Amino acid sequence: MGIQKEIRDNVESQISLLIQQTKIYLPFIKNAFPFSDNLSNACYGLIAGYALSIFLNQYTIRMKYPTHEDFIEFGKIVSKYKDQIDSLFK
């Protein structure tokens, strides 16, 4: 069946918002964590975690449970933003 369009749209809009905010805070992030080996992975992890909470909240609002396939699709949605986040730190 796949993830409902409304849920997908909400998750993707939140990811996009977080990427925009990361761009704004990039100078602070780089200065605040000078000894971090991979800030890109750290930011990706934070964004993916936040997106997961949005994903689950959207199902909760609809009083439904995500299926195994929904989680796989969620992973695909989030992973397509990894290169975009990586490019911020190059």
pLDDT digits (tens, 9 = 90+) for 5-45: 999 999 999 999 999 999 999 999 989 998 888 999 999 99
Q: Which residues contact 6 (CB under 8 A, 6 or more apart)?
A: 58
Q: Residue 34's pLDDT is what?
A: 86
Q: How far is CA 22 from CA 6, 12, 40, 78, 80, in A?
A: 24, 15, 10, 16, 17
Q: What Rg, from alpha-carbon coordinates, does the chain have? A: 14
Q: What is the DSSP string of 47-66?
A: HHHHHHHHHHHHHHHTT---
